[in-house]
Structure formats: C-alpha cells, structure tokens
C-alpha cells in the first residue's frame, strides 16, 4: 500500500496581510491535519496560533512541557521544535522582529524558544477571536479580514518602533560580516547592540548573524529539496563541515537525517509559500520610516 501524499495528510493555506502590516506580520496561515501528524518547526521569529479543532502541541523548551495549548504566543526561536497533533485545524500568523517590538512590546529575549498561552498582548479578546474562527469553518476570506482588522487596530494604538530597532533590523538583513561591523552600521557600541538584540530579536548579535546565515541557506533548501547541500551553501559557508555544524546546532539533527525525515506539514507549507510568492529566506519587506 502506498503512503498518503502530503496533500492527503495536511492542508496549508497562507495569505499575505494588508500592506500596512507587511513589515510586522509575515503571513497568515490556515492549517488542517487529516489525522495524526508529527513534524518539526524551523527556527523562526514570533508567532501567534489559535487551535480551532483537535489538540495541537508544540515541544520546544523542556520548561514549557508538551501540554496542548489553545491560544498560543511563541517567542523567537533558534532551534528546531516539534509539532504534534492527532488531527484538526489551527490558524495563526508570524511576527517579524518589528512586529514583536511594536505589537507585543515585551522583551523578546525573555520569550526566546518559549511557548505559552497568550494573554492580552494584542489587546484582543483571544477567546472571542478563537470562537469566531470556529464559527467560520473554512471561510478564509473572513478569517484574513478578521486578522487584518485586529492587527491594524493594534498597530494604530501602539507607539512607533524604536528607531534603533529599525536600524538593527535593516542591518541584520544585510548580514554584516561580524559583530563590530554590525554595531558600527547600527551606530551603537557593541554592548548597546548586545542589549538591543536580546530585547528586540531574542538573541545576542553573534548568534543572530549565524542564525540568519543558516536560515537563508535553509530557505534555498526548502525551495529546492532535491538539491545537494553543497550546491546551496554558496559563499556563506567555507566548507561542508562548517555547514554541517550549523545544521546540527540549529536543527538538532544532521543534514542527512533531515533529508530522510518525513516533513508533510513543512513541505506543504513551503509549497504554499512559494505559490503565494512569500520568500522562504526570511528576506522581509523594508520597514516604514516611522
């Protein structure tokens, strides 16, 4: 008997938010698993997720346990997590660092690699929002409009981003060669950059630079899963062993183990992002100059 295809096991639909939100929100996602599913999650920025049906568990930090969460706030991550469900539907959206800084506002470092029930961070009754999504069924258009409306209202109520956070965000995307260059281009002392990066991005500058290098390479791999790893390393890695060390550090497995692991959810999500022209390399839109 042949194994079910990814499309038969899971559905992933992604949508781009309103232009005013695109520097703050990566995309909206609507995911449905048609039976038990275990997959891993890539290192990412912040995330908000609502369980619509079924139990959804994210296992990332031992301190958080693996109990199901209904309304979840994810901090930025620099490691591979695991998602487990017996089947069901979940919806949510990703936050860029500027989105975390402006819409959530708390210290990203305190939530790095953590998962917890969301409280009132967005100024929205999340129980009421969850119930509205449950009532919608598969009406994605209404769901997207609901996310847009809530987040645009939140954006209007929040103070503009700290100019130093915007500067650090722009420099990080250019991937400076080292921490002294990073600090110089942001226009702050290295110690100030260290505090700024922990607060806004969740990790110290050196870790951020390694993380961005790896994620951009991983984005190429996700688009071209049949490519040999050596073909996508480009100029970012000196040799295969250098890449292998980073792969194991950020993913908790070897590149060979990754290639052998079933990834129904992540492969389907990657295809959906490509179809909607949402970059997998995390090259985000330039933020507004506010």
Q: Which domains does the chain have, with CATH numbers?
A: 6-157 (2.60.120.10), 163-275 (1.10.10.60)
State residue 286's pLDDT score. 61
* Residue of 200, 204, 209 lying closest to 178 (CA atoms): 209
**What is the distance between the alpha carbons of residues 156 and 35, in angstroms, rounded to a whole number?**
40
C-beta neighbour count of 86 within 10 angstroms:
13
**What is the distance between the alpha carbons of residues 75 and 177, in angstroms, rounded to a whole number?**
26
State residue 272's pLDDT score. 85
State residue 277's pLDDT score. 76
Which pairs with CB-CB distance under 8 Å and at least 24 residues apart come from 175-182?
175/209, 175/212, 175/213, 175/216, 176/209, 178/209, 179/205, 179/206, 179/209, 182/209
- What are the tens digits of pLDDT across the range 239-269? 788 888 888 899 888 888 887 777 888 888 8
**What is the distance between the alpha carbons of residues 127 and 146, in angstroms, rounded to a whole number?**
14
**What is the distance between the alpha carbons of residues 93 and 27, in angstroms, rounded to a whole number?**
6
State residue 2's pLDDT score. 34
**What is the distance between the alpha carbons of residues 164 and 168, in angstroms, rounded to a whole number?**
6
Pairing of strands 46-53, 25-33: unpaired
- Strands lying side by side in the sheet with 56-59: 37-41, 81-85, 56-59
State residue 196's pLDDT score. 97
Could you give the dihedral angle defined by the CA atoms of residues 209, 64, 100 and 125, in that order, rounded to the nearest 10 degrees?
Answer: 170
Mean pLDDT in consecutive groups of 10 residues from the start of the chain, 290 residues: 55 93 94 92 92 89 74 92 91 95 95 91 93 92 96 95 94 92 97 97 95 82 59 66 87 82 82 77 56
């Amino acid at each position: 008997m042949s194994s079910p295809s990814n499309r038969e096991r899971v559905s992933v639909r992604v949508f781009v938010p309103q232009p005013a939100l695109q520097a703050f929100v990566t995309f909206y996602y609507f995911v449905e698993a048609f039976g038990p599913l275990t997959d891993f999650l890539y290192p990412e920025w912040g995330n908000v997720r609502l369980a619509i049906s079924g139990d959804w568990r994210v296992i990332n930090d031992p301190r958080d346990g693996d109990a199901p969460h209904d309304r979840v706030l994810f901090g930025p991550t620099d490691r591979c997590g695991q998602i487990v469900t017996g089947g069901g539907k979940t919806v949510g959206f990703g936050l860029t660092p500027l989105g975390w800084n402006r819409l959530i506002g708390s210290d990203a470092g305190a939530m790095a690699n953590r998962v917890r029930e969301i409280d009132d961070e967005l100024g929205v009754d999340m129980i009421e929002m969850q119930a509205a999504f449950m009532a919608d069924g598969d009406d994605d258009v209404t769901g997207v409009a609901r996310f847009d409306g809530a987040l645009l209202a939140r954006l209007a109520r929040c103070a503009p981003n700290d100019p130093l956070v915007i500067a650090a965000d722009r420099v990080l995307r250019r991937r400076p060669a080292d921490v002294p260059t990073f600090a110089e281009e942001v226009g702050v002392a290295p110690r100030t950059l260290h505090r700024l990066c922990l607060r806004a991005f969740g990790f110290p500058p050196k870790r951020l630079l390694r993380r961005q290098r790896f994620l951009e390479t991983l984005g190429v791999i996700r688009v071209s899963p049949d490519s040999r790893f050596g073909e996508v390393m480009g100029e970012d890695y000196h040799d295969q062993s250098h890449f292998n060390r980073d792969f194991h550090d950020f993913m908790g497995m070897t590149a060979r183990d990754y290639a052998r692991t079933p990834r129904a959810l992540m492969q389907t999500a990657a295809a959906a992002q490509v179809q909607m022209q949402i970059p997998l390399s995390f090259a985000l839109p330039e933020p507004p100059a506010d």
